Amino acid sequence: MPVTKPNKLDSRVGFIGLGLMGSRLARRLHGAGWNIRAWNRSPQPLVEANKDGMATAPSIASLVTGSNVIISSLANDEAVRSVYLDTGGVLSQAEPGTIILEMSTISPDLSRRLHWEAHTKGVNFLDVAISGSTPAVDAGTITLLAGGDAETFGQCVPIFESIARQWFLIGPGSSGVQMKLVVNLLLGIDMQALAEAVSLGEHLQIDRNILLDVLSKTAVVAPAMAGKFRKIKGGDYSPEFPLRLMSKDMDLVMDAAEKSGAHSPAASVAHSVLAANVSVNGELDLSAITASVIGQISKVAAK
């Protein structure tokens, strides 16, 4: 279907999913002047959205029929499949010409199915994965990785400008999600490497503060690790990117590697360590893996 360029004056944006990332994205869009109405599977985040001055919808059907742009940020394949494909879900309600920006980190297989289902209904669908955690969302400095139609991508730039520092069209449907898995493979390995570096330094009796200060100034440390240094140094593992979500993403990485024939031995180790920590530290930040690797404590308390 022809794509109508979203604009703050006329567009009605339905936002689905008010978790750590989604709530922040919705607030940024609302604060930037977009006409936002939100829906979430559990009610408490909707109460908070109302306090922030956002309108909310009582159901998916109400949200979708009252919106010409739909944005979703959900936890996993199960949530996305339910919201989009169940009876009464988004794709059973969306009118032809609706723009959908699906921003969850999900499997390429599910993403491709959503693209196909949307195409059959004349809906303009992009998978738009996010690189960056909650502080980057708050600052508007995330990177967007999109898959889908170039025309739809170009028309959605006004929305991207309200939430992100940069945005890329990677390729056809599900390419954004696939690129996100590549990015998160590096994130998972980098976090594991940092945890092991801190462990080695402490076993060599280097003061932790000095160790972290010096490491942060070296060229070998990825920019994404900067915030993790602060959390490790302060022992504050309150979630910016929960360990359980990183573990879920590494599940997707390993599945994609197996299906594509890619060899990923280092990712396999990081995957195993994360999986072993989900039950005790899953709700804490990814950086809590450091305490586990050092072996000082089995469960880390979030400040």
Q: What is the model's pTM?
A: 0.93
Strands (E), 158-270: 164-171
Interatomic CA distance for residues 119 and 16, integer angstroms? 20
Name the DSSP letter for residue 174: T
Q: 301 — alpha (psi -120 to 50), left (phi > 0) or beta? A: beta
**CA gap 270, 272 in Å, rounded:** 5
Q: What is the mean pLDDT of residues 95-101?
A: 97
Range list for CATH 1.10.1040.10 in the chain: 179-294
pLDDT at 222: 84
Share of the chain above pLDDT 90, in %: 89
Over 70: is that where the pLDDT of 176 sits?
yes
Grade residue 295 by pLDDT with cuts at 50, 70 and 90.
Answer: confident
Average pLDDT over residues 216-234: 88
**C-alpha 154: how far from chain center:** 21
AA identity, residue 55: A
What pLDDT does residue 226 have? 81
The boundaries of every CATH 3.40.50.720 domain in the chain are: 12-172
Q: How far does CA 143 lie from the centroid of its chain?
A: 11
Asked whether the predicted pLDDT for residue 299 surpasses 60, the reply is: no
Average pLDDT over residues 15-33: 97
- Residue 297 confidence class, pLDDT cut points 50, 70, 90: very low
Residue bearing tokens 């893996």: 289
Residue 196: which of 226, 278, 204 has the closest Cα? 204
Domain with residues 179-294, CATH architecture: Orthogonal Bundle (1.10)
Low-confidence winner among 13-22, 130-139, 221-230, 240-249 (lowest mean pLDDT): 221-230
Q: Say what the pLDDT of residue 1 is.
A: 63
Can you tell me the mean pLDDT for 266-290?
A: 94
Among 157, 158, 165, residue whose Cα is nearest residue 137: 165
The overall average pLDDT reported for the chain is 94
How open is the CA angle 79-108-94, to the nearest 5 degrees?
55
Question: Which range among 5-14, 157-166, 213-222 shows the weakest confidence by mean pLDDT?
Answer: 213-222
Give the architecture-level CATH label for domain 12-172: 3-Layer(aba) Sandwich (3.40)
